[in-house]
C-alpha cells in the first residue's frame, strides 16, 4: 500500500465485500433450512456443512493457503519455514507426507492462516489425486505451487489444471541454495516457453506474472565451514544456513492485505453458488413429474381460455394472468424463492409468449379473412357463416397460447435452477458486485472472466 487514500477506500470496500458475502451465505443457509427436512440427501448435507464452515471462516477472517507440487520439492519444508518451526515431517524419501494436513500460521499475530500440506502430485495416482486436489483447492484462498530446478512437463500440466480452479497462485521456486544462478525472470521465461496455444496455457499465462514467482530456500543444505581457533587448530564443521523464506512471507502478507478479504468473500460465494445450484437441481428432479403435470394443466387452462374468449386484448391479459399463476404455483411447489429479479426475467419470457399469441391473432386474422374479434362482431349480427371462422381461429390461437404456457413453465424451472444465484444477494450477484469494485492491479481482476462463467441468460430457453 503506497498511498493511504486508496488503501483506506479499498479497505472499506473489502469490508463491504465480506459483509455482502456473509449476507449471501446466510440467505443460502436459510434456503436450506426451508427445504423439507428429512429430504436432505447426504450430498446436500455435505453442501450444508460446507456452507456453515465457510460462513464461520468469513466471520473469523480466516484464510486457507494450500501447497502443491511434485514429491520432494520441499512443500512441507516451505510450510515449516513459513511458520518458523519444524512442525511437518520432511525428508528425501517419497511419501513422507501422505495425507493433506494443515498447520496454523499467524504472521502478524492477527491474521489467521491455515497452511494445508499435501502429498506430491506424482505420489498418488489418477482419480485419488484429482479428488484430493479438488477438495483441497476448493477450500484454498491461495495456492502455492512449489518447484525446484527446471519445470517438468508434469509440473506444467498440473499448474494448468490448478489454474482451472480460479484461485490466485504463487509459483515458489524452492532450493534456491542449490541453484544460485536461477533468477525469477528466467523461471518465468521457462514457464512461458512451455506454453502451447491451447486455452489452459493462455489462462495460466494470464494468471501468472513474473511478479508471482518467488525464490526461497526453505531448508538449505548444510555447508562445511572451516573454523580456526585462536590456538591455531583448524576444524571443519557442518553449519546449517538459515532458511531464506522472507520473500514468500512478504508476498503472502502483501497479497492478503491487498485483496485477501475480497478473495475470502469470493471464495465463499463460489461455494455458496454451487451449493445453491445443487439444492435447486435436486428439488427440481424430485418434483419433476408433479411440475410437468402442473405446467400441462396450466397450458390447457390457457388454451381453453384463449380459444373461447372472444376479445383479443383479453386473450393477452388472461394469458399473462395464467402465466403468473403458473410461476407462483411452480415456485411454491419447489419451495424455492422467487425474487424480483427472477420475476422480471420471467416476465420478459411471458411478454415473448404473449407477443407470439398476438402474432397468432394477427396471422389467423389474416388467414381467416377476419380476426376472432371481428368474427364475433359479425356473428353477433347473426352471420352464421362466420362461426367456423371464429372457432378455427380460436383453436389455433388456443394452441399457441398453450404452447406459450408450456414455455413459461420451462423457463420458470430453468430460472429457479440458475436464477437463485443471480437474485438479490444471490452468489453471482454479489460476486459481480465485488468484481466491479476490485482494483485492476489485483490477481482477482485477472480471474474476473472465469469467476462468472455463465452470464445471466437474456432469454429463457424455449
Are the CB atoms for 216 and 144 separated by under 8 Å? no
Closest CA to 80 of 261, 249, 291: 249
- Contacting range for ligand GDP; rule: CB under 6 A; set: 72-80, 197-205, 300-308, 439-447: 72-80
Strand partners, 169: 143
In the complex, what is the shortest distance from the CB of residue 178 to ligand GDP, in angstroms, rounded to a whole number? 5
Phi, psi of 147, rounded to the nearest 5 degrees: -125, 165
In the complex, what is the shortest distance from the CB of residue 209 to Mg ion, in angstroms, rounded to a whole number? 28
Choose among ligand GDP, Mg ion, none what residue 178 binds, the Cβ cut-off being 5 to 8 Å by kind: ligand GDP
> Does 129 interact with ligand GDP (rule: CB under 6 A)?
no
In the complex, what is the shortest distance from the CB of residue 29 to Mg ion, in angstroms, rounded to a whole number? 36
* Interaction mask 329-368, ligand GDP, x per CB under 6 A: ----------------------------------------
> Does 120 interact with ligand GDP (rule: CB under 6 A)?
yes
CB closer to ligand GDP, 74 vs 398? 74
C-alpha cell at 421: 444465484
Number of CB atoms found within 10 A of residue 362's CB: 12
> Does 432 interact with ligand GDP (rule: CB under 6 A)?
no
* Interaction mask 157-196, ligand GDP, x per CB under 6 A: -----------------xx-xx------------------
In the complex, what is the shortest distance from the CB of residue 117 to Mg ion, in angstroms, rounded to a whole number? 6
Positions in 300-329 near ligand GDP (CB under 6 A): none
Distance between CA atoms of 417 and 430, rounded to whole angstroms?
A: 17
Choose among ligand GDP, Mg ion, none what residue 158 binds, the Cβ cut-off being 5 to 8 Å by kind: none
In the complex, what is the shortest distance from the CB of residue 66 to ligand GDP, in angstroms, rounded to a whole number? 13
CB closer to ligand GDP, 73 vs 302? 73
Choose among ligand GDP, Mg ion, none what residue 71 binds, the Cβ cut-off being 5 to 8 Å by kind: ligand GDP
Q: Which of 24, 76, 262, 283 binds ligand GDP (CB under 6 A)?
A: 76
In the complex, what is the shortest distance from the CB of residue 77 to ligand GDP, in angstroms, rounded to a whole number? 3
In the complex, what is the shortest distance from the CB of residue 239 to ligand GDP, in angstroms, rounded to a whole number? 14
Residue nearest to Mg ion (CB): 97
Q: Which residues bind ligand GDP (CB under 6 A)?
A: 69, 71-77, 90-92, 96-97, 120, 174-175, 177-178, 217-221
Amino acid at each position: 500500500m503506497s498511498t493511504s487514500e486508496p488503501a483506506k477506500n479499498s479497505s472499506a470496500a473489502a469490508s463491504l465485500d465480506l459483509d455482502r458475502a456473509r449476507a449471501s451465505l446466510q440467505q443460502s443457509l436459510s434456503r436450506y433450512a426451508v427445504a423439507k427436512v428429512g429430504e436432505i440427501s447426504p450430498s446436500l448435507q455435505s453442501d450444508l456443512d460446507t456452507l456453515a464452515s465457510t460462513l464461520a471462516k468469513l466471520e473469523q477472517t480466516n484464510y486457507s493457503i494450500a501447497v502443491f507440487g511434485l514429491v520432494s520439492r520441499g512443500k512441507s519444508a516451505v510450510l515449516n519455514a513459513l511458520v518458523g518451526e519444524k512442525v511437518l515431517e520432511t525428508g528425501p524419501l517419497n511419501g513422507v507426507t501422505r495425507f493433506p494436513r494443515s498447520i496454523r500460521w499467524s504472521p502478524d499475530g492477527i491474521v489467521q492462516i491455515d497452511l494445508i500440506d499435501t502429498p506430491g502430485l506424482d505420489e498418488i495416482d489418477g482419480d485419488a489425486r484429482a479428488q484430493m486436489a479438488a477438495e483441497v483447492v476448493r477450500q484454498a484462498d491461495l495456492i502455492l505451487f512449489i518447484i525446484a530446478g527446471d519445470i517438468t512437463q508434469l509440473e506444467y500440466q498440473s499448474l494448468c489444471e490448478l489454474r482451472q480452479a480460479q484461485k490466485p497462485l504463487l509459483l515458489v521456486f524452492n532450493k534456491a541454495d542449490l541453484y544460485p544462478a536461477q533468477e525469477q525472470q528466467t523461471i518465468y521465461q521457462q514457464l512461458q516457453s512451455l506454453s502451447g496455444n491451447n486455452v489452459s496455457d493462455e489462462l495460466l499465462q494470464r494468471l501468472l506474472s513474473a511478479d508471482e514467482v518467488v525464490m526461497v530456500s526453505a531448508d538449505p543444505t548444510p555447508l562445511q565451514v572451516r573454523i580456526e581457533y585462536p590456538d591455531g587448530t583448524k576444524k571443519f564443521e557442518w553449519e546449517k544456513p538459515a532458511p531464506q523464506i522472507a520473500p514468500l512471507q512478504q508476498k503472502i502478507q502483501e497479497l492478503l492485505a491487498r485483496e485477501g478479504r475480497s478473495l475470502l468473500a469470493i471464495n465463499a460465494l463460489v461455494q455458496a453458488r454451487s451449493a445453491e445450484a445443487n439444492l435447486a437441481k435436486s428439488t427440481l428432479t424430485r418434483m419433476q413429474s408433479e411440475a410437468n403435470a402442473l405446467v400441462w394443466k396450466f397450458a390447457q387452462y390457457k388454451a381453453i381460455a384463449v380459444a373461447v374468449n372472444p376479445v383479443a386484448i383479453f386473450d393477452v391479459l388472461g394469458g399473462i394472468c395464467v402465466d403468473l399463476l403458473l410461476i407462483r404455483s411452480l415456485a411454491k411447489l419447489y419451495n424455492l424463492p422467487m425474487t424480483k429479479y427472477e420475476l422480471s426475467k420471467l416476465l420478459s419470457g411471458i411478454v415473448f409468449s404473449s407477443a407470439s399469441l398476438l402474432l397468432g391473432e394477427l396471422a389467423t386474422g389474416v388467414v381467416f379473412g377476419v380476426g376472432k374479434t371481428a368474427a364475433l362482431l359479425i356473428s353477433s349480427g347473426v352471420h352464421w357463416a362466420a362461426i367456423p371462422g371464429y372457432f378455427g381461429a380460436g383453436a389455433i390461437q388456443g394452441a399457441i397460447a398453450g404452447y406459450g404456457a408450456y414455455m413459461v413453465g420451462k423457463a420458470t424451472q430453468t430460472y429457479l435452477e440458475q436464477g437463485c444465484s443471480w437474485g438479490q444477494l444471490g452468489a453471482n450477484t454479489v460476486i459481480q458486485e465485488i468484481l466491479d469494485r476490485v482494483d485492476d492491479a489485483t490477481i482477482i481482476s485477472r480471474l474476473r472472466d472465469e469467476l462468472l462463467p455463465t452470464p445471466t441468460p437474456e432469454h429463457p430457453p424455449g
